[in-house]
Structure 1
Amino acid sequence: MLSDGGPVYDSVLEAVGATPLVRLRRIVPDGGAPVWVKTEWANPGGSVKDRAALNMVLDAERSGALTPGGTIVEGTSGNTGIGLAMVAAARGYRAVFVVPDRTTKEKIQLLKAYGAEVVPTPGLVPREDPRHVQQLAARIVAETPGAWLADQYGNRANPDVHEQTTGPEIWAQTGGRITHLVAGAGTGGTITGTGRYLQRTGGVTVVAADPESSRYGGGDGSPYFIEAVGHYLHPGTTTDTWPSVFDTSVPDRFERIGDGESLRTVRRLAREEGLLVGGSAGTAVAAALRVSATAGPDALVVAVLPDSGRIYLSKYFDDDWLTTLGFLDAPGGPLVRDRVGTYEPGLFVAPSTSTVASLITAVPPGTAVVPVVQPRRTDATTWSGPDVVGTIAVADLATLDPSAEVGAHAGPPPPAVGHGEGAAAARARIGDGPADAPVLVLVDGRAVTTTTRAALHT
């Protein structure tokens, strides 16, 4: 229904979809193809996941899987849960969501604002762990009469809604001129459905924007700091299972984007384009800018921006958070990098599953304490901060069983400081401790070297 002032709806759910397309004006490379962005935060629940949430619920109602008075359950990093919570409130369902503990507090507050119940759980655990997001959600469904698991990772209604709505919208909004679609893959629903439609209709090239360490694009699966995109793999996971809704034949190629590039793009979008968006949107735009630079002026690039930056104010727009992780420089000095000085690439670490004997023979001379990490590829020169799980003193090695695993004797992980953090602020933040104890130094969230508390005082 229309009025002179715009659309009028009988329900908030009718407002899902038909989001604006906006042209980027100031950050596109000179001579590059124009870049337009699909502003999915304009959905009433604030993200692209509103589309999938509504379609999954309607499909479950039609099939009888979800009945009046039932309970909607899902494991989610936030946005799908928010969309489902909105739908649940509008249609009279109870809602319970399992969220990883790395989820922003804004997302959790939004879930609760809609009346949903939130069950936090550790985010960095093997898939087989009963605390894993999906495992815990499935258990809640099994124990709750009338519960229905939305299962965004395996529910065909997720990609189908993008093939039915998002793809056709973009095609119509560009008058069929789109040549390249850029989108991230979390569950893979958005890029699968949207890309499938645009490839079939106009032969559009589909580019998947992926965090650099995500398994989708060939990374090692180590933790990254961009929420709701990519595929993390815990080293203890037995089988690396990808979402069944992600048709990996749809993307023509992947653009792997480091966290630093994503977050710097997010901040540029806010300050140069007036677009306040989330981290996965920064990943998509960073990839779109790369595509623009090589596609030529006759191409037309469209990037899907999943959500708003309003739900990431405590992270991506918090200067302190960014500085302590090495994404941003503090305004004053001296900085940590001034204390650390130059360093050689290649942080010496001990995988937690390596043996004491192998570490004794490999440790460089003069090393007092070795960081212990999750076992990943051996050629890495930097390590994701959350993958550093402990430390072990070299002096203690001779007293241990040579065949024992290093991880069994590791102490707590060392404190970490940002490369561009103020040295005095970093020293005060990590507190007191042995002067010669190791301190990780992070650049873009990855440990590049170690220093000591004493060095931060010099």
Structure 2
Amino acid sequence: MEYAENILETIGNTPLVKMNALVKDVDALVLAKYETFNPGNSVKDRMALKMIEDAESDGRLQPGGTIIEGTSGNTGMGLALAAVVKGYKLICVMADKQSKEKMDILRAVGAKVMVCPTNVDPEDPRSYYSVSKRLSEETPNSWYVNQYDNPSNTLAHYESTGPEIWEQTDGKVTHFIVGVGTGGTISGVGKYLKEKNPNVKIWGVDTYGSVFKKYHETGIFDENEIYPYITEGIGEDILPKNVDFSVIDGFTKVTDKDAAIYTQKLAREEGMFLGNSAGAAIKGLLQLKKEFKPEDVVVILFHDHGSRYVGKMFNDDWMKERGFVEEEAYTASDLIKAHEDKQLVTVKTEELVSHAIERIRKFQISQIPVVDSEGFVGSVDESALFTAFLDDKNLADTPIKEIMNPPFPIVEKNTSLDEISGLIKKGNSAVLVNLGNNKHHIITKYDVISHIK
């Protein structure tokens, strides 16, 4: 018979899975190291067990002790499994941006969960870093894991994840790409692969609001780069000791929106029901596609399972509330729907400035096309009128033709939002839409902004 003595013996030896739909434009073989096959459904099972075993062996963790750790959820799950099997208590300290599913899962396996505010400095006594340390000092017979600075984190991946990737690719791996949080995965795998082949490129995926990319490129820890972000599991506002920048060739940053959208895409286009950091990782890979050649073997590591995000990235209402939906291909027709029933307000060349000002006030508009018997010949807007008025206080009785600007560009109903945005960016305060039958409507800057997500 073949069986594991306990659940901890099933950690590791996760499969490599070829990616297809999302990487069809990538000129290389892309393989996903699929870490959700671990019993805790994440890559963190590896380092959680390693950190506990190393702490047991050197006496930091005593029988019947309490394990204390600040976690985004996945390390907590790995620690919880080991705690159950080995007979320890576990306290997990989490930031409030983490999904409710992660908190509920940890409680389901016996962990005590404490929630701390996200938007505070690491040194703030309310931060999950500070609360974890304080609890470890106050709790008898406890051990503070400190995954960020614990060298067993990196060692776990040097001893298991790296060798697995090398063996599974028959030594042909050329690039390794992964989201970076504590730094253990990228540093351990990167160190192992570069020892086997120094030409293997190691790329980290970072998020906006995190310090990794700039620090790697400049050596500057820029506090101005630190601000709240939504993406879970990657990025930091500190420099964990486990991040070995010497084995990392570069970073690419991914927005919260792209990470969320590509988390959904992985499920809907690849059948890969994965977590938020996986969406960031695959978008990061696509941003790096110019780095790859046809003969390359690119391995991307996916950290955790999508079940921990069903109330967030896999919830359409949550996505819409944050503007995390793919932009629709808006056209000129879409941009005028809110006011297409209203008549286009114009002013004639021979009318006076006072007439234009009166219409701006009456219709609460900012710009007016100027017409004559031949059609559109010019335009005026409130800023031009204001400037002209400062130059000449008797402007009111001046004919419009003497102060008007060039006419607004005219586009067709199917003209794209991007093209219209480009016209306005070039200095046009508005654009006219040809509706046919000698009818036109106006698109303003506000119309464009209201359709940009």
TM-score by length of structure 2 reads: 0.69
Distance 1:192 1:296 in 2: 24
Give the aligned partner of residue 228 of structure 1. 233
Instruction: List alignment gaps of at least 5 residues for structure 2.
Output: 215-223, 340-444
Give the aligned partner of residue 114 of structure 1. 109
State whether residues 182 and 288 of structure 1, in contact with CA within 8 Å, keep that contact through their aligned partners in structure 2.
yes
Give the aligned partner of residue 312 of structure 2. 315
Give the aligned partner of residue 292 of structure 2. 295
Percent same amino acid at aligned positions?
41
Report deviation, 1:330.
10
Residue 339 to residue 190, structure 1, CA distance change in 2 (3 Å): farther
State whether residues 95 and 117 of structure 2, in contact with CA within 8 Å, keep that contact through their aligned partners in structure 1.
yes
Residue 328 to residue 335, structure 1, CA distance change in 2 (3 Å): farther
Residue 31 to residue 255, structure 1, CA distance change in 2 (3 Å): closer
Residue 35 to residue 132, structure 1, CA distance change in 2 (3 Å): same
Deviations 1:175-227 (A, max 9, x none): 11110000111000100000110111122100001113321112812222110
Residue among 15, 18, 21 paired with 2:16 = 21
Tell me the amino acid that sits aligned with residue 224 of structure 1: Y
Residue 66 to residue 293, structure 1, CA distance change in 2 (3 Å): same
Give the aligned partner of residue 269 of structure 2. 272
Report deviation, 1:290.
3.1
State whether residues 137 and 149 of structure 1, in contact with CA within 8 Å, keep that contact through their aligned partners in structure 2.
yes
1:161 alignment partner, SS class: helix
Give the aligned partner of residue 202 of structure 1. 197
Give the aligned partner of residue 153 of structure 2. 158
Tell me the amino acid that sits aligned with residue 176 of structure 2: L
Give the aligned partner of residue 85 of structure 1. 80
Report deviation, 1:294.
3.7
Residue among 140, 145, 170 paired with 1:145 = 140
Give the aligned partner of residue 408 of structure 2. none
Give the aligned partner of residue 428 of structure 2. none
State whether residues 38 and 303 of structure 1, in contact with CA within 8 Å, keep that contact through their aligned partners in structure 2.
yes
Superposed counterparts of 1:206-355, under 5 Å:
206-218=202-214, 220-231=225-236, 233=237, 241-328=238-325
Distance 2:81 2:171 in 1: 33
| Equivalences, count | 332
State whether residues 97 and 230 of structure 2, in contact with CA within 8 Å, keep that contact through their aligned partners in structure 1.
no
Residue 320 to residue 339, structure 1, CA distance change in 2 (3 Å): farther
Give the aligned partner of residue 52 of structure 2. 57
User: In proportion to residue count, which structure has more helix?
Assistant: 2
TM-score by length of structure 1 reads: 0.69
2:300 alignment partner, SS class: strand
Report deviation, 1:292.
3.6
State whether residues 257 and 287 of structure 1, in contact with CA within 8 Å, keep that contact through their aligned partners in structure 2.
yes
Distance 1:339 1:167 in 2: 56
Instruction: List alignment gaps of at least 5 residues for structure 1.
Output: 234-240, 341-448
Distance 1:337 1:62 in 2: 70
Distance 1:294 1:70 in 2: 48
Tell me the amino acid that sits aligned with residue 98 of structure 2: T
Report deviation, 1:304.
0.6
Moved more, 306-315 or 254-263: 254-263
Report deviation, 1:105.
0.6
Distance 1:201 1:290 in 2: 26
Give the aligned partner of residue 400 of structure 1. none
Distance 2:334 2:105 in 1: 37
Report deviation, 1:289.
2.5
Residue among 161, 165, 168 paired with 1:170 = 165
Residue 66 to residue 34, structure 1, CA distance change in 2 (3 Å): same
Report deviation, 1:269.
1.0
Distance 1:114 1:263 in 2: 27
1:262 alignment partner, SS class: helix
Deviations 1:243-298 (A, max 9, x none): 11111111101111112222222111111110011111111111223334441111
Distance 2:197 2:252 in 1: 21
Tell me the amino acid that sits aligned with residue 275 of structure 1: M
Give the aligned partner of residue 405 of structure 2. none
1:27 alignment partner, SS class: helix
Deviations 1:229-256 (A, max 9, x none): 011x4xxxxxxx4111111111101111
